[in-house]
Structure 1
Amino acid sequence: MVSGGAQFGAARELRGPVMKVHRYLTVLVLTSFVLIWYYILRVNNGIFTGLGGMGTNSSAAFARRGPGLRQNAPSNASEIAIVVVACGERHNEALNMIKSAIMFNRNQSPLRFVVVAEDQLKQNFVEKLDDWQEINDNIFTYEIHSLTFPAKDKDEWKKLFKPCAAQRLFLPSLLTHIDSVLYVDSDTIFLAPVQELWSLFKTFNASQFAGMAPEHEDKNAGWYNRFARHPYYGDLGVNSGVMLMNLTRMREFRWEQHIMPIYREFRLKLVWGDQDIINILFHHH
């Protein structure tokens, strides 16, 4: 803040663009301070409060387990498994997704994050997630897996559409110890409790094993109904960026045995890679 006659007179001459920039920066700083202060209050007042001093985490290679349910989480809440695949520069996006899921979960259910990543990214995930577990009293568990593609055409699968995006097609064989997962693309941000999506599993009938949203809502703007050169699901196709997957049922269906013939037949017509393959499969099933 400026004081004194000469200084005040000099300050008056700065009105215009310079003063506008100064006011903008001042407002920006104050807004940032208020947001940080609000976040700290929310953290201290319930989002991340609960058990402390849980002792040493049990661990295996690139896997960490927390204490399970929090004191203020529902005692009958089932664990929610969230899967994300990270390659190249996508690891920062994946970490942001994980943070948003933790923040908006509000201890409604225990979370397990399943990260499938390139080997050079694993240690970075371990360091970040271990730090967050300590800061937040181990309110989640996690495990990290290496990328796994069929030996035949491995390089093609890895590069299909986006780097490593096709990994979701092979989650049933990779995660044989998990019954169901919520797969999300690395650029996903949660703005509500994950439980709201997870609860949709209860609406599945006896034969359904996956849940996705339509690719578009308007036929006039739809991509599949206007441009696709292959079969697709329903009127508008489905978007696989957020996908509920009952892995047990997918294994019983022999999911991957259906995927391979589709890829061989339509490989030259696939624009959106693995999402197109999923659309073709659900067109027929």
Structure 2
Amino acid sequence: MKPPLRWKQYLAVPTTIAFMYLVYVFSGEGRMVVTDPWLHPKNLAETGKDDRPVVVTAACGVQAPKELLLSLRSLILFSHVPFRYVVIADDVAADMLRQVQRTLPPHVQLEIVGIHMRIPWKYRPWNDAFHEPCTWQRLFLPDILPHYRLALYVDIDMLFFVGLEEVWQAFRQLETGQLIGITLEHEVLSTSSIYQTSENGHIPHYGKTGIQAGILSMDLEKMRSRGWKEEILGILEERMGDIAFKDQDILNIYGHRHPDAIKILPCRWNFRQEHCRHENNTCLSAHEDGIGILHGAAETFRNWKFPGIRTAADVFREWDFRADPSGLADEMERRIAMLDDDASCDPLRLRFFSKTLRKQLSQTFVVP
């Protein structure tokens, strides 16, 4: 008589754990508590026509809506104009975000749309076969938003230190031949860009250091008329097997081929860990005028690899958005000053984490 197959009993353990995890993810984590921080702390000027700026982002998975809401709160806090906020979301994120729609102030129109296009398997790099589809959506905005002329795409891990009207003004001023407004991957004096030093250096890229895809404005009307989709799909067919930075590489290849279509904006609109990591990659515009948008790339809003960036995010995360925001700059300075010079990302004490906030807070706020 053969001995019983005892190994079968062990299958029950991982199966049970997997089931419990799914229950946790889709029930407990899915119940996102939405309180009242959406009350807008100031009066808005009336607008006579629907010429609202359009901000677009993409959210996939359980954690994404939480990051998105922090970003949206910062945008609402400083913005004086009504705007549309379009979120391209998978089913999990969309279900959570629908809980938020009814809580937003009336001048913010949240629109949720489904995933437009999943990259075909044959185009996916070998090391990214199961990556979530959100990464690629910015490449197809001309089709996703067929009735819009201009849109501002932002990653979900962006904190706004200024109002949307100032960001929109900076990014929308494209010249006749330009399709995209974007920032550099590294500043022009840097020698440490991923396109200079990594295994990705063989990828054709814009300029010396490449461009960074975290925030970009797109003239969608021009892109549709100039065969954007066809060229992007051609690049995917040609290069998809050997890229490492996904849609950013695709944008860089396009920028390499069409440099006149790219408008480069100051790094203060996409300040991130790379400006703290390398001495030859200093962001002078942030030092002089303060951070405009802080980007939590590489999960720097959640880890402590760059304490200055994490601390700035914590200040926004812990701030009561219903309160008078006049103390926000003071709190930012106090928390950053507690860090060691090497960890603060501001060793010269230029106070660029709070400089822009002080300018914003010189405006009149009305607390409800």
- TM-score if structure 1 supplies the norm length? 0.68
**1:196 Cα deviation after fit:** 1.7
Aligned residue identity for 2:66: N
Q: Give the Cα–Cα distance (whole angstroms) in 1 for the partners of residues 60 and 248 of structure 2.
A: 18
User: Which stretch of the first structure deviates more once superposed, 152-161 or 229-238?
Assistant: 152-161
Please point out which of 213, 220, 227 is paired with 1:247: 220
| 2:160 partner SS | coil
User: CA separation of 1:248/1:111 partners in 2, compared to 1, >3 Å: closer, same or farther?
Assistant: same
- Corresponding residue number in structure 2 for 1:19: none
- In the alignment, structure 2 segments of 5+ residues that lack a partner are 1-36, 259-368
1:179 aligns with 2:153: no
1:117 aligns with 2:77: no
- Corresponding residue number in structure 2 for 1:91: 65
- Corresponding residue number in structure 2 for 1:11: none
Asked whether the equivalents of residues 118 and 133 of structure 2 are also in contact (C-alpha less than 8 Å), the reply is: no
Q: Give the Cα–Cα distance (whole angstroms) in 2 for the partners of residues 223 and 270 of structure 1.
A: 12
Deviations 1:40-79 (A, max 9, x none): 9xx7xxx5344xxxxxxxxxxxxxxxxxxx4x24658941
Please point out which of 103, 111, 114 is paired with 1:146: 114
User: CA separation of 1:84/1:151 partners in 2, compared to 1, >3 Å: closer, same or farther?
Assistant: closer
Q: Give the Cα–Cα distance (whole angstroms) in 2 for the partners of residues 141 and 119 of structure 1.
A: 20
Q: Give the Cα–Cα distance (whole angstroms) in 2 for the partners of residues 154 and 174 of structure 1.
A: 22
Aligned residue identity for 2:137: Q
| 2:213 partner SS | strand
**1:246 Cα deviation after fit:** 1.1
User: CA separation of 1:154/1:91 partners in 2, compared to 1, >3 Å: closer, same or farther?
Assistant: farther
- Corresponding residue number in structure 1 for 2:101: 129
| 1:235 partner SS | coil
- Corresponding residue number in structure 2 for 1:48: 41
| 2:158 partner SS | coil
Please point out which of 237, 240, 243 is paired with 1:264: 237
- TM-score if structure 2 supplies the norm length? 0.54
| 1:208 partner SS | coil
Asked whether the equivalents of residues 119 and 133 of structure 2 are also in contact (C-alpha less than 8 Å), the reply is: no
Q: Say how many residue pairs are matched.
A: 216
Asked whether the equivalents of residues 160 and 273 of structure 1 are also in contact (C-alpha less than 8 Å), the reply is: no
- Corresponding residue number in structure 2 for 1:210: 180
Structure with greater Cα Rg: 1
Aligned residue identity for 2:205: Y
- Corresponding residue number in structure 2 for 1:5: none
Asked whether the equivalents of residues 219 and 225 of structure 1 are also in contact (C-alpha less than 8 Å), the reply is: no
Deviations 1:183-229 (A, max 9, x none): 00011111111222211355311111111100011422222123321
Q: Give the Cα–Cα distance (whole angstroms) in 1 for the partners of residues 131 and 93 of structure 2.
A: 21
Q: Give the Cα–Cα distance (whole angstroms) in 2 for the partners of residues 77 and 164 of structure 1.
A: 28
| 2:191 partner SS | coil
Aligned residue identity for 1:85: A
Please point out which of 69, 77, 84 is paired with 1:103: 77
- Corresponding residue number in structure 2 for 1:166: 136
Asked whether the equivalents of residues 232 and 280 of structure 1 are also in contact (C-alpha less than 8 Å), the reply is: yes
Runs of 4+ in 1 over 6 A off after TM superposition: none
Q: Give the Cα–Cα distance (whole angstroms) in 1 for the partners of residues 176 and 53 of structure 2.
A: 20
Q: Give the Cα–Cα distance (whole angstroms) in 2 for the partners of residues 91 and 264 of structure 1.
A: 32
Q: Give the Cα–Cα distance (whole angstroms) in 2 for the partners of residues 86 and 154 of structure 1.
A: 24
**1:87 Cα deviation after fit:** 0.4
Q: Give the Cα–Cα distance (whole angstroms) in 2 for the partners of residues 268 and 202 of structure 1.
A: 33
- Corresponding residue number in structure 2 for 1:234: 207
Asked whether the equivalents of residues 229 and 269 of structure 1 are also in contact (C-alpha less than 8 Å), the reply is: no
**1:83 Cα deviation after fit:** 0.5
User: CA separation of 1:79/1:154 partners in 2, compared to 1, >3 Å: closer, same or farther?
Assistant: farther
